[in-house]
Chains A and B, each alone.
Chain A
């Protein structure tokens, strides 16, 4: 049996059963709630984040379902306008700030990045724990504000509605996001210092896994962009509470200034959301092709290029807001450049697949899904970056479909792929492959059924954030909601079988995927201190010749 074509993990030989490594980070230094809540171990903090963001995902997803149910009918079904506005605000705020931003970097990144570098932990473990608590505090306050109080401004809380006219819990929600933002900043700071200062001997920049490069670029964005969102929230807070009118037109203030400051962060934020996903895809494509990634340096530099260029394009969110035409031209022009490094990555992943030994394990299915759906999402980004087309499709479902193709078809696919890939490493258990492949398929089909009709809806003129619409759009809306139900089933399946696997899953070997990377040289799950001695790295990141030589038990 050719091991390189294996899509199942290496089966244990009869004489050497795979033993569960008892001395691992889940058991040591202690079990019990307090040891977890006071942990400084990056692996535990990563797990705590993964649990937290999963809950956030469930909340955001629940409100997505409510929205789709309401939109089955062109007239109000079970929500009035105010309730609907509150529903899409919660969906946006929770999904973006409490799931998409932290999920891969603070979840997988925390778990795996130090091990990938050969380090014992991140540079500042205490700050790491603090960042998780800040996330929780921010999440609690924001969710309280939106669910108990209700906020109807949308996640973008544009002025002057949010500062002057909205009678809702804007301040509580904004405060929650402000606090959660510091969680993001601290994670980014930690990663940058860890990558610069804690690499093992021999781990040069160009021997690092591409997942590290991706998270490093993400960390740069977190550190440079989030503070501007923070100060914007401070100004909104001051305007709402002290009535000082920075954005108030009655005083000569400019509401568009708010939009500039808001999108200065929020555009780069979408790259915070997608770059780590791309990092995961680089890992998956390489492993399940058994091949050195094509164009390693191109992908590495593209990650940084996306981070940098992403800061220069925010005005494309303001094309119809009253921004000057010349600024619109500048931002439209710059927006085309940011597509280039993303495209470079897609070409390199595709080139990696050429003449490769491809296996179709679940993570690889998600990787394929990512490449196709991200490409569609990215190409439609070029549509909206064109000033003329954007005037027609802005604030319609076309834009909604565009970003969901990238966020859900892209990042969430990468997240699920990464979750399946790292599950054996984190838990010491395998998930059930059959069910996992089925749910990947269900998710893919459900996703496309949900969001493809939305491109058509938007192009035909259906505005976003409307809970009533002309009858002619109903068929497409019904298709979209049907898709959302399928998608929901698809997401529920992993939740069930992952939990099932914790007790009943096959015990995982150290390196079930025969992957390179220092994380696969530790046990599954890894010991508390990652390595007994700092490893010395002498080979490149995706050098599979080093792994083939490992003993493969013949089944």
Chain B
């Protein structure tokens, strides 16, 4: 038999919590711990990158110059803009401004999609230049035959890291769609905006990953422009 004296469970105050503030604190702590797991998840690839860059610096530098740093920088800018619109959406939810929440979430989604579009273009460029690792026709110009393998390592890391990042963006985009759907119904108010806040934290985290990926992949040593 359900305990009839218990209050009806709401989004804002679930059954296991005593107060809405406790729930929000718990959700926030939970999301931050999840982000820590993501730091360690990406961290394994950053460890691989660190080791191989140290071991094969010249080849990595040459491989890095084959990436278009202007496009990379512009894409970084797009992602930073999306972080801006995301935090504006969170702010709007704190003020209970339904229309603005929806607007900023849609803008975030658009910028995110633009980022992914540019990424797809860049990947396609790599395909055309025969820079896909693991393919028989792989060849990086300016690198001796005995070191083509090392160049493949760079591109393996490039695709693995940007691919994992892009996957996280896609998942984030999916969550944004969910938020937009709910926000249009007016679910998020000044007293209950936790999901917007939490997904905002996730989105910013994915942005921070890119903040490191950009210089590490695109800007290893631009002064020896080939």
Contact = CB atoms under 8 A, between A and B. Distances in A.
Contacts, number: 122
A244 B134 contact: yes
B127 interface: no
A257 interface: yes
Interface string B23-47: 0011001100110111011111101
B149 interface: yes
A227 B41 contact: yes
A501 to B, nearest CB: 27
A40 to B, nearest CB: 8
A123 B16 contact: yes
A154 B164 CA distance: 27
A121 B44 contact: no
Interface string A163-191: 00000000000000000000001000110
B30 A124 contact: yes
Contact of B38 (A227, A250, A534): A227
Nearest to B157: A246
Given A231-B41, A251-B152, A254-B51, A197 B26 contact: yes
Contacts of B47: 257, 260-261
B33 A120 contact: no
Contact of B16 (A198, A246, A257, A264): A198
A120 B23 CA distance: 13
A243 B22 CA distance: 48
Contacts of A124: 26, 30
A223 B41 contact: no
Contacts of B44: 227-228, 231-232, 235, 261, 264
B153 interface: yes
B37 A244 contact: no
Interface string B1-38: 11100100000000111100010011001100110111
Contact of A252 (B6, B56, B155): B56
A365 B149 CA distance: 59
Interface in A499-529: 529
A542 to B, nearest CB: 27
B160 interface: yes
Nearest to A228: B44
A532 B152 CA distance: 63
A28 B156 CA distance: 54
B152 A29 contact: no
A231 B30 contact: no
Contacts of A18: none
Interface residues of A, number: 48
Given A123-B16, A250-B149, A251-B150, A223 B37 contact: yes
Contacts of B33: 189, 192-193, 223
Interface string B133-150: 110000000000001011
A252 B149 contact: yes
Given A189-B34, A192-B33, A193-B26, A235 B48 contact: yes
Contacts of B17: 198
B55 interface: yes
B56 A245 contact: no
A196 B42 CA distance: 26
B16 A243 contact: no
A245 B149 contact: yes
A197 B147 CA distance: 54
Given A198-B16, A227-B40, A231-B41, A193 B2 contact: no
Nearest to A29: B2
A55 B139 CA distance: 51
A129 to B, nearest CB: 13
A244 B152 contact: yes
A120 B45 contact: no
A225 interface: yes
Interface in A331-363: none
A230 B152 contact: no
A196 B147 CA distance: 52
A442 interface: no
Contacts of A29: 1-2
Given A125-B16, A257-B48, A245 B133 contact: yes
A234 interface: yes
Interface in A67-114: none
A246 B153 contact: yes
Interface string B154-171: 011101100010000000
A226 interface: yes
Given A192-B33, A196-B29, A228-B44, A252 B164 contact: no
A228 B16 contact: no
Contact of A234 (B38, B133, B164): B164
Contacts of B38: 227
B26 A123 contact: yes
25 contacts: A23-B1, A28-B1, A123-B16, A123-B30, A124-B30, A190-B30, A192-B29, A197-B25, A223-B33, A223-B36, A224-B37, A227-B40, A227-B41, A228-B43, A230-B41, A231-B40, A235-B44, A243-B134, A244-B152, A245-B133, A245-B156, A248-B149, A250-B149, A251-B152, A264-B44
A-B pairs with lowest CB-CB distance, top 10: A251-B149, A243-B134, A231-B44, A244-B156, A227-B41, A121-B16, A227-B40, A197-B26, A244-B133, A252-B150
